[in-house]
A and B are shown apart, each in its own frame.
Chain A
Amino acid sequence: DTGVSQDPRHKITKRGQNVTFRCDPISEHNRLYWYRQTLGQGPEFLTYFQNEAQLEKSRLLSDRFSAERPKGSFSTLEIQRTEQGDSAMYLCASSLTATTNEKLFFGSGTQLSVL
C-alpha cells in the first residue's frame, strides 16, 4: 500500500501526558498537512510543510502543539500536556506541489482520546 499512513490509529492517554503521532506521506509528495477533526465537524487546518519547511501554522493552534518534518519525508505531531479538549481525530494529508488542482490524499487518521 503506497498511500498515506498514520501511526498509531488509536491513542488513549491521561490528561497532562505528552503524545506524538507519525505520518508517512506518499513518497514523491512534497507537501504535508495536519488537520484535526471532531465528531460531526469538518477537518480543521493545523499546519503544513513544503518539503522540510513549515510554511503555515494555524493561529488557533496552542503552543502545546508542535510539528516537524526533519528530512522532508515523514512528519511528527506532538501534543504536550494534553487536555480533554484535545480529543479528536488527527488527520495527515500529502500532495504533490500546490496548484489550482492540488489533490490531497488523506491517511486514516489517529484517534486521540484524553481521559
Chain B
Amino acid sequence: TQLLEQSPQFLSIQEGENLTVYCNSSSVFSSLQWYRQEPGEGPVLLVTVVTGGEVKKLKRLTFQFGDARKDSSLHITAAQPGDTGLYLCAGVRETSGSRLTFGEGTQLTVNP
C-alpha cells in the first residue's frame, strides 16, 4: 500500500482549463512538498507546506495542506502547455524522522 496516494494518475486537458491534483494519506505529516519532474530530469521542488490548513500560491498554482495534515491538493488555473510534467507530492511523516516519502505522481499533459 502506497503511503501517499495521488489522484488522478493521468490527466490530459486543453490549454486554459483548470485542474486539481490530490495527495492523500492515513498518516500525519510534519510537512508536505510538491515537486514537478520533466522526462529525463530529477524532480524540482515547487513548494513546502507545514501548517494544517495552510494555503500557498505560486503564480497560477495553489497548494493547500489539509487541516489534519494528512492530505494536500494542487490546483492549477488556466493551464498552459508548459505546465506539462509529472507532479509528485512528498511528505515527512511525524513518526519517521526526516526521510522524504514520495507519492506515485500525476502525469499532466496540457494540449495546445
Contacts and interface: CB of A to CB of B under 8 A. Distances in A.
Contacts of A108: 40-42
A33 B99 CA distance: 9
A100 B31 contact: yes
Interface stretch (B12-20, B58-66, B74-82, B103-111): B103-111
B104 A42 contact: yes
A14 interface: no
B11 interface: no
B41 A41 contact: no
Contact of B105 (A41, A103, A104): A41
Interface residues of A, number: 25
A77 to B, nearest CB: 15
Nearest to A106: B42
Interface of A is mostly: loop
Contacts of B100: 33, 45, 102, 104
Contacts of A62: none
A106 B43 contact: yes
A106 B45 CA distance: 9
B45 A43 contact: no
Interface string A64-99: 000000000000000000000000000101000010
A27 B101 CA distance: 24
Contacts of B97: 56
Contact of B30 (A56, A100, A107): A100
Interface of A: 4, 33, 35, 40-45, 48, 56, 91, 93, 98, 100-109, 111
